[in-house]
């Protein structure tokens, strides 16, 4: 039986997923990110040290476990890839070259209530850069470029990366005279869920804001622009603070660098905050055209305080693509399709059982030149062999003979062929993935 | 802190692992195996239905779980990929084309005591073919060819696939007059661990054998051959049984098909049995030259009774490569090396901070033509930029100028270059993996 929240794809969907992952990986590698995998489990104290997400942790117990295992020995499944990465860096910093750029594509687990595009087991694809002591800001400007290149390489709708900077919010709230900036941030973060009236009321009630301060917070959150004009609109609100200025300058750099690389890729969106996370400056989200109502398909940002060893800090910036989330949404709308459900490009027809060795040699010759090939499972007539290929979307059937022939079952064209030299059309070698 | 049994590789090792996985995957796909992933968890009753391995299962609990969750709702991490695959087939048989060939490359978990090359979390790469009702025997002969091609594509020592057939053992024991053939099989399976004297004694004690029957069982287990001669040696022992004949004919087919494909790849080894597993005919193991003492790096066989829906059976045959085990052994002997620890082929030197946009454009041009490129993290002198590349094994440093130049830091050769057309030596585009 399917288990709610633990999605499984059929083979044709898995072929699409693999193609998507290949593109993600090759784009990450074009930017010099090195591959990394961390174990699936972390000690519970590592998982709990990051706050509220801990509610969703899956703990592990051995079936035959001795009673009363101590809590510090407890292991849980990781719920993201950033916390394990930070742990890996602190554990291995002596063996790494800094700045350390890594990508990590792995399953993560959360004991959340499942809903469309939200799973308990899901695949994430993360990039991060960490450095020792300080991390230059230009790495914050690079993240959207990588993600933009990934999305442009995929047969999916247009993606817009939303960017904000927590220093803008925090500086603005402080410049307004609000003390508990974290509480203000958490409250404003609920804007899309509960609407402006309730946010204003909550700001007055829980964050000590006056009505006028609450209104200003909402005005800030309304600002959105694909160019540098957001900064003027913030300044027009008349609030000043050094941290606000710093945040505006940083966000401007991100927007301008992105506009040079790919106009329209990035939008400054001053309401996003990623409330419960460990970010300290830039924050990123991504909306997919036509799927905006399902929320963001990436999450990320700058984190200056996630990892440290003694007095040495390892600040970082990163972004995570929710691969299962993205594919779940697209599969749900039947938005992606693939030309076949198997890697096989050629089926070698088996005229009779005593000719299997001959067919195996033909298959070996084709495979030796990189052409995915199967021999038919049983001897059968012409029509059955065609049907075998057709049901799987395999484009070619090979008929051993004197001479051998190969048939493109889509066009019906059949030509003489030699297994030592024949080539399929280049587009037929591997399954093709399309937007539907 | 590292957790015993949960290995993590450094980035350069992960690059090696990825190269190995790419080769495994492309070989599997050349044979037409379709990709599949199953969820990491299975209901406990699915995991427990397969017998003794259940001792090693990791169960999941949510940290905030309500008390008294019912046992049938309990989830555990899968301990292999065959049991989940069998479950997937029974669940989705209406949506699959049979015979169904799939590969699956995933982590599995076992709560075992860790030792060299034995982990609690490890990566397996499996292929299986299942069919509805009956599965032709020739699929049993194909498995070693695929695995042989995989191992020949890797920079590792020579692998020998050991093959046996449980029908030989069971038929032989029965022909000898022994009733509890399963107990005999389990006892003989301990040969390498406890030696022939203790096996003989245990056969007498626990399987009702006479001294002479026990001696015959040991004579069978001694037989080993890289050609069809094993069959004559078995027959010379003077035991007859129809199932024995069937097993000998099957094993002969496996050995002869393998010898035609790759002489020396396969050895009939009549002592292997894979005692606790669900196999019903052919069984496979693999020894790596120089690493024989660590045991087998693959496991597999024919299973006729693992999956069924109502009266419909789905017999299968498959083999699993212990990827973490293989790499753990090779890394432990420092037997593999890689030319660099990052994907980056070119570092663009940053002459001064105000020229970052120019350097970014050069990097984008190189990436656009598939050349992995980083821009130097900070402006620095010539020597520092070379050092940055050298420490990571990056072969080229690009110097923006009028004109641009690119330096091969290994040879010291520096030439004029245009980012729109320059190509690295083809062998330099990606990291190279070697046997050391």
| Minimal CA separation from A376 to chain B, in Å | 10
Q: Number of helices (H) and strands (E), helices first, in chain B?
A: 13, 21
For residue B260, the chain A residue with the least C-alpha distance is A357
For residue B10, the chain A residue with the least C-alpha distance is A36
Q: Do A136 and B377 touch (CB under 8 A)?
A: yes
Nearest alpha carbon to residue A100 among A85, A81, A84: A85
Confidence of residue B67 (pLDDT cuts 50, 70, 90): low
Q: If you average pLDDT over residues B111-139, what whole number do you get?
A: 91
What angle is formed at CA A396 by the lines to CA B317 and CA A375, rounded to 5 degrees? 25
Say whether A20 sits in a helix, a strand or coil. Answer: helix
Q: How far is the C-alpha of B60 from the C-alpha of A57, rounded, in Å?
A: 10
Q: Do A39 and B8 touch (CB under 8 A)?
A: yes
Residues of B in contact with A14 (CB under 8 A): 34-37
CATH, domain range A1-156+306-337: 3.30.930.10
- How would DSSP label each residue in A328-339? HHHHHTT-EEES
Tokens 């245990």: give the residue.
B202
Q: If you average pLDDT over residues B198-227, what whole number do you get?
A: 96
Q: If you average pLDDT over residues A97-103, what whole number do you get?
A: 97
Q: What is the pLDDT of residues A113-147, one digit of tens each?
A: 777 667 999 999 999 999 999 999 999 999 999 99
Q: If you average pLDDT over residues A254-267, what whole number do you get?
A: 95
What angle is formed at CA A26 by the lines to CA A20 and CA A32, rounded to 5 degrees? 145
Instruction: Answer yes or no: are the C-beta atoms of B299 and B322 closer than 8 Å.
Output: yes
Does the structure show a pLDDT above 90 at B118? no
* Burial (CB count <10 Å: 0-12, 13-18, 19+), residue A334: exposed
Does the structure show a pLDDT above 70 at B53? no
- Selecting from A11, A36, A58 the residue whose C-beta is nearest the C-beta of B14 gives A36
For residue A113, the chain B residue with the least C-alpha distance is B62
- Structure-block tokens of residue B314: 């789905």
Q: If you average pLDDT over residues A223-246, what whole number do you get?
A: 97
Confidence of residue A52 (pLDDT cuts 50, 70, 90): low
B238-252 exposure pattern, b = at least 16 Cβ within 10 A, e = fewer: ebebebbbbbbebbb
| Minimal CA separation from B39 to chain A, in Å | 6
Side-chain half-sphere exposure of A417, counting CA atoms within 13 A: 22
Q: What is the pLDDT of residues A163-188, one digit of tens each?
A: 999 999 999 999 999 999 999 999 99
- DSSP assigned state of B57: P
| Minimal CA separation from B250 to chain A, in Å | 16
- Selecting from A9, A17, A58 the residue whose C-beta is nearest the C-beta of B60 gives A58
Does the structure show a pLDDT above 60 at A306? yes
- DSSP assigned state of A118: B
pLDDT confidence of residue B200: 96
For residue A390, the chain B residue with the least C-alpha distance is B97
User: Which region among B130-134, B166-170, B191-195, B209-213 has the lowest average model confidence (pLDDT)?
Assistant: B191-195
Length in residues, chain B: 436
Q: If you average pLDDT over residues B288-308, what whole number do you get?
A: 94
Does the structure show a pLDDT above 80 at B397? yes
Q: What percent of chain B has pLDDT over 70?
A: 96
Q: Do B30 and A373 touch (CB under 8 A)?
A: yes
Residues of A in contact with B357 (CB under 8 A): 257, 260
Does the structure show a pLDDT above 90 at A76? yes
Q: If you average pLDDT over residues B254-281, what whole number do you get?
A: 91
Q: How far is the C-alpha of A398 from the C-alpha of A394, rounded, in Å?
A: 11
- Best probe of the B interface among A17, A19, A49, A62, by most B CBs < 10 A, is A62
pLDDT confidence of residue A62: 84
pLDDT confidence of residue A1: 73
Q: Do B341 and A34 touch (CB under 8 A)?
A: yes
Q: Do A31 and B101 touch (CB under 8 A)?
A: no
Does the structure show a pLDDT above 80 at A109? yes
Q: What percent of chain A has pLDDT over 70?
A: 96
User: Which region among A176-180, B116-120, B139-143, B265-269 has the lowest average model confidence (pLDDT)?
Assistant: B116-120
Residues 6+ apart with CB under 8 A from A187: A199, A202, A203, A206, A207
Q: What is the pLDDT of residues B407-416, one digit of tens each?
A: 999 999 999 9
pLDDT confidence of residue B70: 57
Q: What is the pLDDT of residues B360-384, one digit of tens each?
A: 999 999 999 999 999 999 998 889 9
**Domain extents for chain A?**
1-156+306-337, 159-288, 346-435
Residues of A in contact with B45 (CB under 8 A): none
Residues of A in contact with B317 (CB under 8 A): none
pLDDT confidence of residue A95: 96
Q: If you average pLDDT over residues B248-262, what whole number do you get?
A: 96
Q: If you average pLDDT over residues B13-29, what whole number do you get?
A: 98
Confidence of residue B115 (pLDDT cuts 50, 70, 90): confident
pLDDT confidence of residue A113: 76
Residues 6+ apart with CB under 8 A from B15: A34, A35, B338, B340, B341, B343, B431, B433
Q: What percent of chain A has pLDDT over 90?
A: 87
Rg of the Cα atoms in chain A? 27
- DSSP assigned state of A260: H
Strands B405-408 and A41-43: unpaired
**Residue contacts between A and B (CB atoms, under 8 Å):** 201
For the annotated binding site of B for L-histidine, the residues are 80-82, 110, 124, 128, 274, 278-279
For the annotated binding site of B, the residues are 80-82, 110, 124, 128, 274, 278-279
- Structure-block tokens of residue A246: 């710093």
- Structure-block tokens of residue A149: 């290149």
pLDDT confidence of residue B306: 87
Query: What's the whole-number average pLDDT of chain B?
Result: 94
Q: Do A138 and B356 touch (CB under 8 A)?
A: yes
For residue B8, the chain A residue with the least C-alpha distance is A38
Q: Do A342 and B260 touch (CB under 8 A)?
A: no
Residues of A in contact with B76 (CB under 8 A): 63
Which of the residue ranges A35-49, B241-255, B274-288 has the most confident prediction, judged by mean pLDDT?
B241-255
Confidence of residue B68 (pLDDT cuts 50, 70, 90): low
Does the structure show a pLDDT above 90 at B51? no
Q: Residue B57, Cα to own-chain centre: how many angstroms?
A: 20
CATH of A159-288, picked from 3.30.930.10, 3.10.20.90, 3.40.920.10, 3.30.450.40, is 3.30.930.10
Instruction: Answer yes or no: are the C-beta atoms of B140 and B255 closer than 8 Å.
Output: no
Does the structure show a pLDDT above 80 at B395? yes
Domain covering B346-435, topology: Rossmann fold (3.40.50)
Q: If you average pLDDT over residues A284-310, what whole number do you get?
A: 94
pLDDT confidence of residue A276: 66
- Selecting from B8, B38, B75 the residue whose C-beta is nearest the C-beta of A38 gives B8
Higher pLDDT, residue B392 or B118: B392
Query: What's the whole-number average pLDDT of chain A?
Result: 94
Does the structure show a pLDDT above 80 at A347? yes
- How would DSSP label each residue in B302-313? EESSS-EETTEE
Q: Do A11 and B102 touch (CB under 8 A)?
A: yes
ipTM of this complex prediction, to 2 decimal places = 0.95
Q: How far is the C-alpha of B417 from the C-alpha of A368, rounded, in Å?
A: 37
Higher pLDDT, residue B1 or A362: A362
């Amino acid at each position: 039986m399917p288990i709610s929240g633990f999605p499984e794809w059929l083979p044709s969907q898995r072929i699409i997923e693999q193609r998507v992952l290949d593109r993600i990986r090759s784009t990450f590698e074009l930017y010099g990110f090195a591959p990394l995998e961390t174990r699936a489990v972390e000690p519970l104290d590592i998982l709990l040290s990051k706050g509220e997400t801990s509610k969703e942790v899956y703990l592990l117990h051995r079936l035959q476990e001795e009673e009363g295992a101590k809590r510090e020995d407890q292991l849980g499944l990781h719920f993201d890839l950033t916390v394990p990465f930070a742990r890996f860096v602190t554990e291995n910093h002596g063996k790494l070259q800094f700045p350390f750029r890594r990508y990590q594509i792995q399953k993560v687990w959360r004991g959340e209530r499942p809903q469309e595009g939200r799973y308990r087991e899901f695949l994430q694809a993360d990039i991060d850069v960490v450095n020792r002591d300080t991390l230059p800001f230009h790495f914050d400007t690079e993240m959207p470029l990588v993600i933009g290149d990934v999305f442009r390489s995929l047969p999916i709708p247009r993606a817009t990366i939303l960017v904000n900077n927590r220093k803008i919010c925090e500086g603005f709230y402080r410049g307004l005279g609000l003390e508990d900036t974290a509480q203000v941030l958490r409250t404003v973060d609920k804007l899309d869920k509960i609407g402006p009236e309730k946010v204003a009321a909550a700001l007055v009630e829980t964050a000590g804001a006056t009505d006028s301060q609450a209104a200003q917070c909402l005005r800030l959150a309304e600002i959105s622009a694909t160019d540098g004009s957001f900064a003027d609109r913030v300044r027009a609100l008349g609030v000043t603070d050094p941290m606000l200025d710093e945040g505006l300058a940083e966000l401007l750099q991100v927007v301008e660098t992105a506009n040079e690389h790919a106009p329209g890729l990035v939008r400054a969106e001053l309401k996003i905050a990623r409330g419960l996370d460990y970010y300290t400056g830039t924050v990123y989200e991504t909306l997919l055209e036509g799927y905006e109502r399902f929320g963001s398909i990436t999450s990320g940002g700058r984190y200056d305080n996630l990892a440290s060893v003694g007095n040495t800090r390892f600040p970082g910036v990163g972004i995570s693509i929710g691969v299962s989330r993205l594919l779940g949404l697209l599969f749900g709308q039947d938005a992606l399709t693939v030309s076949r459900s198997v890697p096989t490009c050629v089926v070698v027809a088996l005229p009779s059982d005593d000719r299997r060795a001959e067919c195996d040699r033909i298959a070996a010759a084709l495979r030796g030149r990189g052409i995915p090939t199967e021999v038919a499972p049983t001897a059968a007539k012409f029509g059955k062999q065609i049907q075998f290929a057709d049901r799987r979307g395999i484009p070619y059937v090979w008929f051993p003979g004197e001479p051998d022939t190969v048939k493109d079952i889509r066009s019906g064209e059949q030509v003489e062929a030699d297994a030592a030299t024949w080539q399929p059309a280049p587009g037929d070698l591997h399954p093709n993935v399309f937007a539907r």
